[in-house]
A and B are shown apart, each in its own frame.
Chain A
Amino acid sequence: MARKSFREAINEALRLEMRRDPRVIVMGEDVAGGMGAAGEQDAWGGVLGVTKGLMPEFGRERVLDTPISESAFIGAAVGAAATGLRPVAELMFIDFVGVCLDQILNQAAKLRYMFGGKATMPLVIRTMYGAGLRAASQHSQALYPIFTHIPGLKVVIPSSPYEAKGLLIRAIRDDDPVIFCEHKMLYDEMEEVPDEAYTIPFGEANLTREGEDVTIVAIGRMVKFANEAADRLAARGVTCAVIDPRTASPLDEETILESVKETGRLVVVDEASPRCNLATDIVALVATKVFGALKAPAAIVAPPHTPVPFSPALEDAYVPGPARIEAAALAIME
């Protein structure tokens, strides 16, 4: 099986689905690039090259560059999804949801419900999140809890190339609006990825490692860090189960609860700001459903309640990493 990057895996998922279904279109700022310019067309393929090569194969009609008008093109994707297309819109940075949230919050998420089931919303919004690229406060946030909070939206946070491809194909085939959150520091991660199309179901967590002492639930890029921490902990005689929920909405509660019942200890690792994030949600789930199974207080590893700073010296202190996860697990083992 060929090793592919997270970027290539997403590109392949889009390509396969566009070949399979002519209703699938891709739209966003510079998703091809060079629109109206004299030089190369498909000059960018998105700001980090994820959609490169789609426009030459499918044409500008199905790979639409848009003006920098997020309210308009995200809203247009919502309208197109309701009327026969299956758009994959790219919100370049998740932070930019600030200028188009209404179309997601009040339109995409609610049309099916408000219309008494008489609308479908086969929409995917691909968006890049996360800290680590020294991109400062307006290009580094992990805002997936905002979407998770909204009934009607599905929220996917892939942790690896294999996961990204299977989850994106699943998202494109879904009849509900899906927010697909890609961590910008994962694009160059490599992994074996099948050439053919495959899907990974929503609401089924991935137990990435089995262990008896501590359950670590980690989100997105944090799954990798959690497994690195688990390696270190194993060397100290502490074995960890590491769970990747894959989708924040729907959330696979059962896998988490069953694991905590076995280990009695929980660490949740979330890159989102610490108030009302996925970690607090999962800890609340465990506290309300299997409180008696806990041998120690649940632990949360998250960034501090601050915007993401620019300076590498500060950003490195901001982002949760393997050392903090290891320390959190050891603290509840005592």
Chain B
Amino acid sequence: MELSREQLLDAYRYMRTIREFEERIHLEFATGDIPGFVHLYAGEEASAVGVCMNLGARDYIASTHRGHGHCIAKDCDVGAMMKELYGRRDGLCGGKGGSMHIADMSKGMMGANGIVGGGPPLICGAALSAKILKTGGVAVTFFGDGGFNQGTTLEAMNFASACKLPAVFVLEDNGYAESTASAWSIGGGDPIKRAAGFGLVGHSVDGHDFFAVCQRARELIEYARAGNGPSFLHVKFIRYYGHFEGDACTYRAPGEVAAARSERDCLKLFRDRVTAMGVLQPPQLDEIDTEVVRLIGSAVAAAKEAPLPDTADLMTHVYGSY
């Protein structure tokens, strides 16, 4: 797959931004300053970025409770995202949604989602809009191995297939639905076969390998854009943190995360590959690392200082008119 130097730098910057965002939230959440539930995406960056690199402004994505990475990959404003996590007035959703409901429709980001399996039917709708309004757009839903067992997901795959919608179903399989192993919970064991049962073309990829994800996602998105109908991508990786922040993760095998971090870190694999190829030099990537740390640092500082919502804001946005 041909990617320009600029595209490679972009891909690295997006992935590094997600990683730094999540690692910093992990630390900040522990101080008690961030309210509510937070589910971190660290370790999974190649999936969001590998898919979204192939999408444009007319394309929509639907996300999950673990949505920060998808937001960043779809160009949501990182400063406004951070303010949203802190429940601030100028947050991306005015402080009303928080981590689990971050969204920016103007960017084609239809929201993180607190309901497992909430996204797949929504992107069928986005795909229907694209088809009927002839926007040329494609709709992509991300869902976890837990969401893959939700009736809404299965119905959405069938609906998309029957209506030949320009939709891509991306199963992000991090090994655990909360604390339950996906190896146990996915009946039949092979997600590709399940998707094939609904008539969806599908591929499995190593979710730590940005290039593998990006290549397959590109094929499937082009397939949808050409009017061939829906498809399925099974992205397999290891999540670095718990189901939510505060999860002690005792259900995991000892050393599982340490091994993934040292051997299958998508950022390290990316760096090794592009520098070995000689396309990018380590100092260029180091510079991005430094910039991203600064960006996230200022986002946190700004979020902590940002004003809270007014009580009157409680009553706004319930309806368009009433």
Contact = CB atoms under 8 A, between A and B. Distances in A.
Interface of A: 29-30, 33-41, 43-44, 47, 65, 67-72, 95-96, 98-99, 133-139, 304-307, 309-314, 317-318
Interface stretch (B73-81, B204-212, B247-255, B259-267): B247-255
Contacts of A65: 180
Nearest to A317: B311
Interface string B86-100: 011001010111101
Most B Cβ at <10 Å: residue of A33, A37, A71: A37
A311 B315 contact: no
Given A36-B185, A37-B179, A37-B181, A139 B314 contact: no
Contact of A138 (B93, B101, B117, B152): B101
Contacts of B182: 36
Most B Cβ at <10 Å: residue of A30, A39, A137, A310: A310
Nearest to A41: B251
28 contacts: A29-B178, A34-B250, A36-B185, A37-B181, A37-B251, A38-B252, A38-B253, A39-B252, A43-B248, A67-B146, A68-B178, A95-B114, A96-B115, A99-B151, A99-B152, A135-B37, A136-B97, A136-B98, A136-B100, A137-B101, A138-B114, A139-B100, A307-B96, A310-B95, A310-B101, A311-B308, A314-B95, A314-B309
B311 A69 contact: no
Contacts of B180: 29-30, 33-37, 65, 67
B36 A310 contact: yes
Interface residues of B, number: 51
A95 B118 CA distance: 12
B137 interface: no
B36 A135 contact: yes
Given A36-B183, A99-B117, A310-B36, A137 B149 contact: no
Nearest to A133: B36
B10 interface: no
B56 interface: no
B181 A36 contact: yes
A35 B184 contact: yes
B152 A310 contact: no
Given A35-B180, A72-B151, A135-B100, 4 more contacts: A29-B180, A68-B117, A134-B98, A136-B101
B201 to A, nearest CB: 25
B169 interface: no
Given A35-B180, A136-B97, A317 B314 contact: yes
B177 interface: yes
B116 interface: yes
B251 A39 contact: yes
A70 to B, nearest CB: 8
Given A98-B115, A314-B96, A134 B178 contact: no
A68 B150 contact: yes
Interface in B45-66: none
Contacts of B249: 39
A266 B178 CA distance: 45
Contacts of B197: none
A311 B318 CA distance: 16
A137 B250 contact: no
A109 B124 CA distance: 32
A79 to B, nearest CB: 16
A290 to B, nearest CB: 34
Contact of A310 (B96, B179, B253, B315): B96
Interface in B111-130: 113-117
B142 interface: no
B282 interface: no
Given A47-B178, A95-B114, A311 B95 contact: yes
A9 to B, nearest CB: 23
A310 B250 contact: no
B318 A306 contact: yes
Nearest to B250: A40
A65 B182 CA distance: 12
A95 B318 CA distance: 18
Interface in B130-165: 146-147, 149-152
A193 B250 CA distance: 31
Contacts of B181: 34-38
Contacts of A98: 115
A67 B309 CA distance: 38
A32 to B, nearest CB: 9
A30 B253 contact: no
A95 B315 CA distance: 21
Interface in B2-60: 35-37
